[in-house]
Structure 1
Amino acid sequence: MDQLMAIRAFARVVEAGNFTRAADSLEMPNATLSKLVQELEAHLGVRLLQRTTRRVTVTPEGRDYYEKTARILRDLEDIDTGFNAARSTPRGQLRVDIGGSTAREVLIPALPDFMARYPDIRLDLGVSDRAVDLISDNIDCVIRGGPLDNSSLIARHIGAATLITCATPGYLQTFGTPAYPQELKNGHRLVSYLSPQTGRAFPFRFARDGEKTEIKVDHRIGINESNAHLAAGLAGLGIIQTFSYAACAALKEGALVEILSAWRPAPYPFHVVYPQNRHLTHRLRVFIDWLLECFPARISGGVMK
């Protein structure tokens, strides 16, 4: 038995949550992965995983073994990376998850530079606003905005976006242009952005001279995907609050008009997030460094460079 390979196979099953995803991520047949785990269990004389037709559950012994060996695997990978990174070219597959409008307006326009620098990296983008499980979905990192509530993840701040409130000229001609946030409660139609996680509408947020205001009213329509949310505003369905980089082109063309600009809320932080127990590969390291270099200028202010 190749014990190191068996330990890696077992760890990947624990992280992925089932044999199929683990085998795919290791690019090996499911049967080979299963045999490696069985050989490891026989070698140790303990059951590490409980298998049923529907799920895989880690036993208490398996959890203990995983936590101890995961540290060893990380140390080995760090040693290898230290020797190889200086003289090797980053290569292999990198899986990144990102929200829809951020992908369209910020990341994808910048990618030609990254791909030219690192031609041996194959990038797979998962584009959606839904929450993902980095471990079970086998994702190297996610790019997300907003507060972070998962202490098991490592986050690097990569910039801050400006939130603006806007509507079409036709809408404003029909319903009037509000001068104060509270006026949104008086007959205006709001298009809310719904949390993909909870389905709840995010309130419209405003700030001025240290005063913060949240407007929570029944929305006319709610949408849980950023590109569709912007499209609803462009269709004249109501007032939206969105990122300036997403609405930049529409503002320049006059398709949207910013309102309540004196009440813009504080800049909205963005992070690149990855698991604590996921080794920071050479390709992920250079991707994060590249994000830190180019992302802040592209996401702030709404002017693409």
Structure 2
Amino acid sequence: MDKFHAMQVFTRVVEANSFSRASDSLNLPRGSVTRIVKDLEAFLKIRLLNRTTRSLSLTSEGAAYYERCVRILSEVEQAEGELTTDTRTPRGKLRVDMSGALGKLVVVPALDDFQARFSDIDLSIGFGDRFVDLVQEGIDCVIRVGALGDSTLVARRIGTYHLVTVASPGYLERRGTPRSPDDLEQHVAVNYVSSRTGRAINLNFIVDGERVNIRMRSRLAINDGDAHIQCAIKGLGLVQVPRLLALPYLASGELVEVLPDFRPPSLPISAVYPHSRHLSPPVRAFVDWVAELFAACPGVSADTGMELPPDSPVRARQVSIA
């Protein structure tokens, strides 16, 4: 038995949570994948996986062995990479996924530079904020905004997403300009609905070093970033949007920033990838490139002091339309 190959197959089965999906990603017959794992269990004299017709789960011994396999495989790949860094050009197919705003406004305009630097990488980009299963969907890397919860993935901080509260001049003329979050009782918001949760996201502000979460009544909810900002331009209410999206409208005067002394907390931008991909030359090349790109972009570069730690105090209240 090729123990190194068996470890690769076993980790792929765990990450895919399926023998069939693992066989597809490894380009091996399903029977071969099953046999390799069984042979590995026989060699180790332990059961690594609990199998039923509908589910697959790790035994306690299997979980410990999986963690060791991931570290060993990563160290081998790192050693190989260090020996060939100077001579090997990143090549192959690379699938990434990111939000539409980041992709269309920052990444796509710079793709000519990426292709000039990495002409041997075939890049496929998907846009959206939905939850994706990287292993099952064959995605090598995702760029995500906000806190991350899946500890089985590798994450690298590559930027900061700055938000801004805005309204149209016409709306402010009708309703008045709020000077503090307490003034929002006289105002209406256009809610943004998260594609991941299906829920409206409340307005957030930093007040005296604390995060204040305000739930406003709203007559309108939108789940698309471009449509959300167009609603603000039309004077339909206050919105909190990425500064990246708002910049051209702030410059033209179609939108006005409100409550600039109580800006929303900034959000981290992370590159996220499975353990098995984190030393892949194409992934490393793309993440390094996009981190460099974000560092030069005003809307997603280093934070401006408006970011709060995840455990910062949160005050929540609801305001209604007068």
Q: Deviation of residue 97 (structure 1)?
A: 2.5
Alignment of 1:129-148 (within 5 A): 129-148=129-148
Is this contact kept in 1: 2:277–2:283, CA < 8 A? Answer: no
Trace 1:32-47 onto structure 2 (pairs within 5 A).
32-47=32-47
Question: Deviation per CA, 1:77-105, whole angstroms, max 9, x where unpaired?
Answer: 11211112221010122232212212221
- TM-score if structure 2 supplies the norm length? 0.78
Equivalence for 2:7: 7
Question: Within 5 A, what are the aligned runs for 1:1-305?
Answer: 1-186=1-186, 188-207=187-206, 213-276=212-275, 278-300=277-299
Which amino acid in the other structure matches residue 250 of structure 1? Answer: Y
Once residues 7 and 215 of structure 1 are traced to their aligned partners in structure 2, the CA distance between those partners, rounded to angstroms, is 50
Shift of the alpha carbon at 1:180?
3.2
Q: 4-13 or 266-275: which moved more? A: 266-275
Distance 2:72 2:7 in 1: 10
The superposition leaves residues 31-56 of structure 1 with CA deviations (integer Å, 9 ceiling, x where unpaired) of: 44334334434544544333344332
Q: Which moved more, 1:70-79 or 1:275-284?
A: 275-284
Q: 1:51 to 1:267 in 2, by over 3 A?
A: closer
The one-letter code sitting in structure 2 at the alignment partner of 1:50 is N
The CA deviation at 1:115 is 1.9
- Shift of residue 173, structure 1, vs aligned partner: 4.4
Q: Counterpart of 1:216 in 2: which secondary structure?
A: strand
Supply the distance in 1 between the matched residues of 2:161 and 2:48 (Cα, whole angstroms).
46
Aligned residues: 301
Q: Look up the equivalent residue of 1:284 and give its one-letter code.
A: V
Q: Amino acid of the residue matched to residue 73 of structure 2?
A: L
TM-score by length of 1: 0.82
Distance 2:237 2:137 in 1: 36
**How far off its partner does 1:256 sit?**
3.1
What secondary structure, in the 3-state scheme, does the structure 2 residue paired with 1:298 have?
A: coil
Question: Which stretch of the first structure deviates more once superposed, 281-290 or 203-212?
Answer: 203-212
Deviations 1:241-299 (A, max 9, x none): 01111123333444433333343235433222334565421222222221221112225
| Uncovered stretches (5+) of structure 1, i.e. residues with no partner | none
The worse-fitting range, judged by mean Cα deviation, of 84-93 and 138-147 is: 138-147
Query: Percent identity at matched positions?
Result: 45
Gaps of 5+ in 2: 302-322
In the alignment, is the contact (CA less than 8 A) between 2:190 and 2:218 conserved in 1? yes
SS of the residue 1:242 aligns to: strand
1:271–1:34 Cα change, 3 Å: same
Q: Are the equivalent residues in 2 in contact too, given 1:195–1:201 (CA < 8 A)?
A: yes
